[in-house]
């Protein structure tokens, strides 16, 4: 049975900014990690660093940087 809401493209209702190449890459990397059942902070940070998606300062992700960026983006 197909989910009744499958295929619907939902608007980003909580987002009050336009998506950028950076936020798209970050979102895609996070979605890939979640699809692989990576949900813990250390795993997410390691996965983002392995995926090559750099934080805004261009360095490597740390737990603190990830938490600050999620707060900045309103996630």
Collect all residues with Cβ–Cβ distance below 8 Å to 51 and sequence separation of at least 6. Answer: 29, 32
pLDDT above 90 (res 70): yes
Q: What is the mean pLDDT of the chain?
A: 86
Take residue 37 and report the two structure tokens written for it.
């059942």
Task: For residue 8, tell me if it sits in a domain.
Answer: no
Question: Would 6 be classed as within a structural domain?
Answer: no
Quick check: 75 and 17 in contact, CB under 8 A?
A: no
**63 in a domain, yes or no?**
yes
pLDDT, one tens digit per residue, over 10-41 is 555 555 667 899 999 999 999 999 999 999 99
50 within domain boundaries: yes
Q: Which domain holds residue 58?
A: 21-73
Q: pLDDT-based confidence at 74, cuts 50/70/90?
A: confident
* Domain count along the chain: 1
């Amino acid at each position: 049975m197909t989910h009744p809401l499958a295929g619907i493209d939902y608007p980003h209702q909580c987002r009050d900014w336009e998506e950028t190449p950076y936020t798209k890459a970050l979102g895609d990397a996070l979605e890939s990690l979640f699809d692989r059942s990576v949900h813990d902070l250390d795993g997410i940070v390691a996965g983002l660093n392995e995926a090559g998606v750099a934080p805004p300062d261009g360095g490597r992700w740390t737990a603190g940087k990830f938490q600050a960026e999620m707060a900045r983006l309103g996630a």
